[in-house]
Amino acid sequence: MSAPLALEFVQSAAQIDQLPPTRAEVAVIGRSNVGKSSLLNALANRRNLAKVSGKPGRTQLLNCFAVDGGTVMDLPGYGYASTASKSMRSDWRRRMERYLLEREGLVLTLLLIDGEVGPTRLDVEMLSWLHGNDVPIQVVATKHDKVKSAKRDKRKKELAEGCGVLPSGVLWVSAERNVGLDRLRARIREALEQA
């Protein structure tokens, strides 16, 4: 196992102008419940660094963590549509778009896709928005442990196809079982170092 990422919580903010300046930042984005906060904990090998919950919409703020001379951002998820009002959703969209377009130092966005569920309509919309705005992304599939090993190759192919990338362009991880974390740590370190 590679060394865990030495993530340290810096601060939460409601808006981008309240965030501390950063030299280089990697953002973690994806629908609610996809496993963003769990993944950060797993990458750091810490239990309660980022708050995890079975209830979607747990992470409401932009949560900033320091690491290796840069920062990692845990962002609120999208798609808990059944509980959120329309105005909350458009507020979320404005905040996210502003963050992704205006954040100085943002070098890479990890787009998390649920490996058990595959890309949803909102994931595909997000992907196309990110592409259209030239936001550099890495597709990360989550919950590797939830798919039976016999089905994984096929699932990965379908997931990649649904996202418009090659299967080799998808990192599949499990926060629960520590799968794929070394490769993802290396990807994050590389992005922060090259900036």
Cα radius of gyration rounded to whole Å, the chain = 16
Task: Provide the 3-class DSSP secondary structure of residue 105.
Answer: coil
**Site track 143-182 with ligand GTP (rule: CB under 6 A), x = hit:** x-xx---------------------------xxx------
Point out which span in 2-10, 47-55, 92-100, 159-167 binds ligand GTP (CB under 6 A): 47-55
Nearer Cβ to ligand GTP (48/194): 48
Q: Is the alpha carbon torsion for 153, 39, 103, 128 positive or negative? A: positive
- Given a contact cutoff of 8 angstroms between Cβ atoms, the answer to whether 126 and 111 are in contact is yes
Chosen from Mg ion, ligand GTP, none, partner binding at 32 (C-beta under 5 to 8 Å by type): ligand GTP
Nearer Cβ to ligand GTP (38/71): 38
Nearer Cβ to ligand GTP (24/34): 34
When binding is defined by CB under 6 A, the residue of 2, 18, 53, 128 that contacts ligand GTP is: 53
**In terms of Cα–Cα distance, which of 137, 176, 144, 178 is closest to 159?**
144
Q: Is the alpha carbon torsion for 92, 94, 95, 99 positive or negative? A: positive
Nearer Cβ to ligand GTP (122/195): 122
- Given a contact cutoff of 8 angstroms between Cβ atoms, the answer to whether 135 and 54 are in contact is no
**Site track 19-38 with ligand GTP (rule: CB under 6 A), x = hit:** -----------x-xxxxxxx
**Phi, psi torsion values for 132, nearest 5 degrees:** -60, -25
User: In the structure encoding, which two tokens stand for residue 170, read together?
Assistant: 């998808």
Restricted to residues 65-84, the positions that interact with ligand GTP (CB under 6 A) are 76-77
> Could you identify the residue written with the tokens 């943002």?
106
Residues that bind ligand GTP (CB under 6 A): 30, 32-38, 52-54, 56-59, 76-77, 142-143, 145-146, 174-176
